[in-house]
Chain A
Amino acid sequence: MTHWTTQSTDAFVRRITFDFWTQLQKRMDALPLTQLDLANTFGVSESAISQTLNNSQNPRLTTLVSYAKALKLNVAIVAYPDDDPSGRPVNSEIFTICWEKANRPRTFGQAGALPSVKAASSTGETLIIPARKGNYYRVNAREALTHSDLAHGNIMFILGAGASLSDPVQAMETAITQAPRRKVA
């Protein structure tokens, strides 16, 4: 079965635009910021804001960026290899969650220093993965390897007290040294 977004480029664009606007809507709820606030920021009517936020038909990139910036969000356009046979796109929010969980690496060096669960699991070692709020996950990689849907979080972990988040690599190293000597169940 192939996903509906594989039927046309327009359909795919509508899906990724929907995902993007959903991220912004959730941000508005979290701040909180209303459509009227945005209307005042951009000097347009509230209905114009509503129309834009509900328009998933190929909006201009400059529109997407200006709305994100107004909500104090940054934007990246991400291309990624995907061998999912159905062609279902990965929701942009999932990339954001992963980036947050990786302690927001900003350089190739920081990103490259992050442990790869998939690669490390073959060695059977225990991984320490930085998480939000100074916590970290201690992952039994052997166990992770046995779970088929690793991507869905079915890995065994312990959430522990953590380290400074100023430097993800340093945070990870500190987390490793501070890791509790508890056996992963």
Chain B
Amino acid sequence: MPNADKFEVVKLSELPETPKRGLAFLECATRKDINAKVTFDGLKQKTREDVMNRFDYWLDEGICDKYFHGFPNHPVYHQCWVFKWKQAGAYHRLYGFLANPRAITNKGFRACILVSHAQKNTANTDPSELAHAESLRLNIAVMTEVRKAFPERKQP
């Protein structure tokens, strides 16, 4: 069955990529479950900047599990990723996955593609969110858009 959903990978102009990392949102007009960008755009200025700080920290190759982390030891979801913040007692999560779109010209480059937002009352990860992100990571149409957003570098 042909894939009817039209995906788009959107980078934030105010969040330039670094030599080793880049971040973008997955968008799809026909899929309400892909809501990370909509949620991010709707954040109040202060919260938005708090989240941007977390993005920056990851782009700078920082490590802080309180702000974000992957699932490297999980047998299935080891390419999934989550950014975290707390607001008014609620736990907020942006789920996504890591990709390596420049396998030829920049093997070490990692793109984080954010997919969905979840708000909950506990700090625990919901496996269904990871399953959702993983299914999109394995979607050929999605990965084609990821490679378009983060094309291989031109050789000198």
Contacts from A to B (Cβ < 8 Å): 1-4, 7, 11, 14-15, 18-19, 22, 25-26, 54, 56-57, 86, 88, 91, 93-94, 149, 152
Contact = CB atoms under 8 A, between A and B. Distances in A.
20 contacts: A1-B16, A2-B13, A2-B14, A2-B16, A4-B14, A11-B49, A14-B46, A14-B50, A15-B52, A15-B53, A15-B56, A22-B57, A22-B62, A22-B67, A25-B64, A86-B16, A91-B56, A91-B60, A94-B60, A149-B19
A4 B64 contact: no
Interface in B2-34: 12-16, 18-20
A25 B15 contact: no
Contacts of A54: 86
Interface range for B: 20 to 34
A38 to B, nearest CB: 16
A3 B13 CA distance: 8
A41 B43 CA distance: 35
B66 interface: yes
Given A11-B49, A94-B60, A25 B66 contact: yes
B49 A56 contact: yes
A57 B19 contact: no
A152 B19 contact: yes
Contact of B14 (A7, A19, A22, A57): A7
Given A11-B49, A22-B64, 7 more contacts: A3-B14, A4-B12, A4-B52, A7-B14, A14-B49, A22-B62, A56-B53
Contacts of B46: 14, 57
B50 A56 contact: yes
B7 to A, nearest CB: 22
